Amino acid sequence: MTLFFALCFFGVAVAGFCAFVIFWPLTLVHLRDRHQALAAALGPGAFLKPAALQWLLVRRYRDTGDRALSGLATPAWLALLTLLIGLGMAALLGLLSTVIQ
């Protein structure tokens, strides 16, 4: 039963990944087009850069006051949280299943 729930959480992580792959590039394109200074601060190839992901996780996009940016970055933030929590719970339940047996 524990492995079943671990697999379910892995499925949640896959759903989070799919949403992240949709919304994060849209957010980065919006930054490139309308906030050049911020895009330059994140650097080229910011898709998987730790600094850019930290910028998203800390929700610093709200400091810009751009509602369109918040509308793109908030789903990307939720997707990244879903991905991380889903993978974390799947790993935790996978480890728990090895300890219980």
Closest listed residue to residue 9, CA positions, set 95, 74, 101, 100: 95
pLDDT in tens, 77-90: 999 999 999 999 99
Contacts of 3 (CB under 8 A, 6+ apart): 93, 94, 97
pLDDT in tens, 3-48: 999 999 999 999 999 999 999 999 999 999 999 999 999 999 999 9
Of the pLDDT bands very low, low, confident and very high (cuts 50, 70, 90), residue 50 is very high
Mean pLDDT of the chain: 96
What pLDDT was estimated at residue 86? Answer: 98
What pLDDT was estimated at residue 99? Answer: 93
8 A C-beta contact, residue 90 and residue 9: yes
Taking the C-alpha atoms of residue 78 and residue 70, their distance in angstroms, rounded to an integer, is 12
**Chain centre to alpha carbon of residue 73:** 10
Q: In the chain, where does DSSP find H-type helix?
A: 2-34, 36-42, 50-57, 67-100
Q: Is the confidence at residue 101, as pLDDT, over 90?
A: no
8 A C-beta contact, residue 38 and residue 64: yes
